[in-house]
Every structure is written in C-alpha cells, then in structure tokens.
Amino acid sequence: MDDPRRGTYILILNLPAPTRLTIGRLGVFDFADGWYAYAGSAFGGGGLRGRLKHHLAPVTRPHWHIDALRQAAQVCEVWSLADAANHEHAWAAALRSLPGSSIPAARFGASDCRCPAHLVYFPTAPDFAGFCAASGHPLQREVIV
C-alpha cells in the first residue's frame, strides 16, 4: 500500500500583475502576470501534509525557490498524489509539454536535478484534466481560492 504521507504535488498559482523577483542564487527574473504550475515532492518526515502546510502558509522565511514567488502570487489549487514513487520530474516534463506553456526562470525548483525547471508559466489557467491525461495519474484536486 502507498504511504499516504508521501507523494508528489503541483501548486497552481496566479500572479495578478507583472513582478520582478529575486529567486535565491538563481538571480533576478521578471514574471509575467498569469498562471504558474510548480511540481514538487514530499518524501521527508512531514510528508505531503507538512509540505503543503508550508506552501499554503504566509511566507515568513523563504526557504525554497517557490517561496519567493509565493510572496507575490496566490496559490489557487493543489494537485497531488499520495504515492511511494516520486513523479516530480516526470510531472514537470508533462507540464512543459502542455499547450501554451513556457519556462519563466531556468532551473527554478530544479537546482538538485537536471530538469530545465520545475516551474511552468501559462497565460491562462492550466487544464487539470489535460494534465491528468498527460501524466497518466488520477490526481487529487484541491481548490484553495
């Protein structure tokens, strides 16, 4: 049986206005208004619950690249799958393959792997059903806003 505490997730964020942000050591980037999808995984002690609790709380001390974007953008949805397998890299690739997608900041969220980025930009909200079909997984969808 899969461990319900661990798994992979996607944060769907909306940025209401163009914003310039410093993303840790990556540098300064201009982010267009629109929608962002961030692929991540939670296999540490707190699992999905702990990681998503962090991502849904106000940013007090930025830790990950996504924390910098969360200071300007609002998390609107969480797509997740409790599973013993880590789908983070495959899901980032699936996001990048969706129509209208682009990489807003090279290496964002991917400093520990060879992926081009784990953050993907969309001018309109990404399609949940389309992503599920592209990923081949039945994800949970939680609307935050």
In a domain, 1, yes or no: no
Averaged over successive runs of 10 residues, the pLDDT of the chain (145 residues) comes to 77 98 93 98 92 93 92 97 94 94 95 93 95 91 90
In a domain, 60, yes or no: yes
- Are 119 and 37 contacting, i.e. CB atoms less than 8 angstroms apart? yes
pLDDT at 13: 98
The number of domains in the chain is: 1
- The pTM of the full predicted model, rounded to 2 decimals, is 0.94
**How many angstroms separate the CA atoms of 9 and 1, rounded?**
19
> Whole domain around residue 93: which residue ranges?
7-143
- Are 34 and 70 contacting, i.e. CB atoms less than 8 angstroms apart? no
SS (H, E, C) 54-99: HHHCCCCCCCCHHHHHHCCCEEEEEEEEECCCCCHHHHHHHHHHCC
